[in-house]
Amino acid sequence: MNAYIVVEGESDADLIRRLIPAEFSDGIAVVAADGRSSAVSLSRTILGARQTPTALVVDSDTTSEALTNEQKTMLNDLLRSAAGATPYLVALAIPETEAILFSAPEVLERIVGASLSETDRITARFRPKETLARLIRPAGIASVADLVSRLSESDLARLRCDRLVADLIDFIRESLQPANAGFRRTG
78-109 pLDDT per residue, tens: 999 999 999 999 999 999 999 999 999 999 99
In CATH, the number for domain 3-97+153-180 is: 3.40.50
Residues in the chain, overall count: 187
* Confidence category of residue 186, pLDDT binned at 50, 70, 90: low
Q: What is the pLDDT of residue 179?
A: 46
Q: Tell me the pLDDT tens digit for each residue of 139-171.
A: 999 999 999 999 999 999 999 999 999 999 999
pTM for the full predicted model? 0.92
Other CB atoms within 10 A of residue 105 CB: 15
Q: Is 29 helix (H, G, I), strand (E, B) or coil?
A: strand
Q: Name the β-bridge partners of 56.
A: 6, 90
Short-list 91, 92, 112, CA closest to 102:
112
57 in Cβ contact with 28 (< 8 Å): no
Domains of the chain, residue spans: 3-97+153-180
Q: In whole angstroms, what is the distance from residue 50 CA to residue 125 CA? A: 37
Classified as helix, coil or strand, 151 is: coil
Query: CB of 60 within 8 A of CB of 20?
Result: no
Please write the tens of the pLDDT for every residue from 28-42.
Answer: 999 999 999 999 999
53-92 residues labelled b (16+ CB within 10 A) or e (exposed): bbbbbbbbebeeeeebeebbeebbebbeebbeebbbbbbb
Q: Interior CA angle at 155 toward 151 and 159, to 5°?
A: 110
